[in-house]
């Protein structure tokens, strides 16, 4: 049996899937299988997948069920002791699996191992934006407020963890085991991580190195933000059904952090009016974010108003000056190849998952 099962949902990623598969096959640890789950896309993605002849690759086809459904199919087929997830447009650095396997082998109480991530654009160029979350002492409050796992291409998970949280679901005349909740088309990650944190004793811990390259999709931002927020609210509703005291205590603060995260995302995409509205709603939800993290919160507020009121050229100049003062200019970052990102100074901690859906 392989040590690791790598599960890759494949849906409308013909521009990226070859590089994604290549980043798996280029791992320094070689004891793995690759489960490419064809989720019913209409482009050439699966044709490209079939061009790879490595015997460790298995292609599984199904009607479209979404990201959660594709992952669940992969989990049910997986043979490995550890399960790793990689979205079909993201990339791994070559030591990714080796470092996570060593981490899990050495720490039997850790159920989920994750890493820092670097953001890349649609051409694979680094954006100089990093996800650098808290790595240890992660409790359910950290998960709901900050989502330290950050995105769905960072975690490597023990098989037993997923067995512990699986639940039956009826599909037609059949009963399946779900691990990710397929009724979610967004926020399926945070719903799963929070369920693990609240209902099991497994620890979540990270590695302080960039091992995942997360591709940012800028399309349809405004609608995407509202969809993300609605999905996040569904997570709160579901979690309240089995952990009402926890949600009652932390809901307002968690919502404030989520709204601030979405405001920062709107700032990055230059949607000033939306950014201002979101940061205002964050304060209304729970003002504690102001004194818990005053610098980050006030910078978000200022950036939102700058994007809304200043000409783009002036805002970009101010942004460049700020990044120059911290030694992290976008120009410098863009001259680096993705493989060199691991040696860069990590400069930014994101509030939550930057969902591509």
Helix H, strand E, coil C: the string for the chain is CCCEEEEEEECCCCCCHHHHHHHHHCCCCCCEEEEEEECCCCCCHHHHHHCCCCCCEEEEECCCCHHHHHHHHHHHHCCCCEEEECCCCCEECCCHHHHHHHHHHHCCCEEEEEEEEEEECCCCCEEEEEECCCCCCCCHHHHHHHCCCCCCCCCEEEHHHHHHHCEEEEECCEEEEECCCCCCCCCHHHHHHHHHHHHCCCEEEEEEEEEEEEECCCCCHHHHHHHHHHHHHHHHHHHHHHCHHHHHHHHHHHHHHHHHHHHHHHHHCCCHHHHHHHHHHHHHHCCHHHHHCHHHHHHHHHHHHHHHHCCHHHHHHHHHHHHHHCCCCHHHHHCCCHHHHHHCCCCCCCCCCCCCC
Distance CA 185, CA 70 (A): 11
What does DSSP say about strands 156-158 and 126-131: parallel, antiparallel, or unpaired?
Answer: unpaired
Residue 338 has pLDDT above 50, yes or no: no
Q: What is the pLDDT of residues 293-316, one digit of tens each?
A: 999 999 999 989 988 888 777 766
pLDDT, greater one: 253 or 310: 253
Say how many C-beta atoms besides its own lie within 10 A of residue 140's C-beta.
19
Q: What radius of gyration, in Å, describes the C-alpha atoms of the chain?
A: 20
Do 49 and 17 meet the contact criterion of CB atoms below 8 Å apart?
yes
55 alpha carbon, distance to own chain's centre? 28
Q: Is 15 exposed, middle or buried (0-12, 13-18, 19+ CB in 10 A)?
A: middle
pLDDT-derived band at 318 (thresholds 50, 70, 90) equals low
Q: In the predicted model, what is the mean pLDDT of residues 117-135?
A: 93
Domain locations along the chain? 1-89, 222-343
Kindly report the average pLDDT of the chain as a whole number: 89
Q: What is the pLDDT of residues 144-158, one digit of tens each?
A: 999 999 999 999 999
**Tokens, residue 318:** 């101010």
Task: Domain 1-89: give its CATH code.
Answer: 3.90.550.10
Intra-chain end-to-end CA distance of the chain, in Å: 33
pLDDT score recorded for residue 218: 62
Lowest mean pLDDT of 61-75, 112-126, 180-194, 311-325, name the range.
Answer: 311-325
Distance CA 174, CA 169 (A): 8
Lowest mean pLDDT of 184-188, 239-243, 328-332, name the range.
Answer: 328-332
Q: In the predicted model, what is the mean pLDDT of residues 193-204?
A: 98
Q: What is the pLDDT of residues 53-108, one digit of tens each?
A: 999 999 999 999 999 999 999 999 999 999 999 999 999 999 999 999 999 999 99
Residue positions counted in the chain:
357
pLDDT-derived band at 41 (thresholds 50, 70, 90) equals very high
pLDDT score recorded for residue 67: 96
Q: In the predicted model, what is the mean pLDDT of residues 276-292?
A: 96
pTM for the predicted model, two decimal places = 0.88
Q: In the predicted model, what is the mean pLDDT of residues 26-31?
A: 98
Residue reference for tokens 């950050």: 150
pLDDT score recorded for residue 351: 53
pLDDT score recorded for residue 334: 29
Lowest mean pLDDT of 193-202, 203-212, 280-289, 298-307, name the range.
Answer: 298-307
pLDDT-derived band at 172 (thresholds 50, 70, 90) equals confident
Backbone angles phi, psi at 212, to 5 degrees: -125, 135
pLDDT score recorded for residue 176: 94
């Amino acid at each position: 049996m392989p040590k690791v099962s790598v599960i890759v949902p494949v849906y409308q990623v013909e521009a990226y899937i070859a590089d994604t598969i290549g980043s798996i096959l280029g791992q320094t640890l070689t004891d793995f299988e690759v489960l490419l789950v064809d989720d019913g896309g209409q482009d050439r993605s699966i044709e490209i997948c079939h061009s790879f002849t490595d015997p460790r690759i298995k292609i599984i086809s199904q009607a479209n069920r979404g990201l959660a459904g594709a992952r669940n199919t992969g989990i049910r087929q997986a043979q490995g002791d550890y399960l790793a997830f990689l979205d079909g447009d993201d990339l791994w650095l070559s030591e990714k699996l080796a470092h996570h396997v060593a981490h899990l082998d050495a720490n039997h109480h850790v159920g989920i191992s994750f890493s820092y991530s670097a953001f890349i654009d649609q051409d694979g160029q680094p954006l100089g934006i990093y996800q650098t979350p808290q790595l240890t002492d992660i409790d359910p409050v950290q998960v709901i407020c900050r989502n330290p796992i950050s995105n769905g291409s960072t975690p490597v998970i023990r098989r037993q963890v997923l067995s512990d949280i699986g639940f039956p679901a009826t599909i037609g005349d059949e009963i399946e085991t779900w691990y990710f909740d397929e009724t979610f088309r967004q926020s399926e990650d945070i719903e799963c991580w929070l369920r693990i944190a609240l209902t099991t004793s497994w620890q979540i811990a990270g590695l302080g190195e960039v091992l995942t390259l997360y591709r940012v999709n800028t399309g349809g931002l405004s609608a995407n933000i509202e969809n993300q927020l609605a999905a996040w609210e569904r997570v709160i509703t579901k979690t309240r059904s089995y952990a009402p005291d926890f949600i009652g205590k932390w809901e307002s603060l968690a919502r404030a952090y989520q709204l601030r995260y979405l405001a920062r995302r709107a700032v990055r995409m230059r949607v000033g009016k939306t950014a201002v509205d979101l940061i205002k709603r964050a304060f209304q939800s729970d003002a504690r974010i102001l004194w818990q993290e005053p610098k980050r919160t006030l910078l978000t507020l200022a950036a939102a108003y700058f994007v809304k009121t200043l000409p783009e050229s002036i805002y970009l100049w101010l942004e460049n000056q700020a990044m120059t003062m911290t030694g992290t200019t976008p120009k410098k970052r863009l001259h680096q190849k993705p493989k060199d990102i691991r040696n860069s100074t990590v400069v930014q901690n994101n509030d939550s998952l930057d969902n591509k859906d």
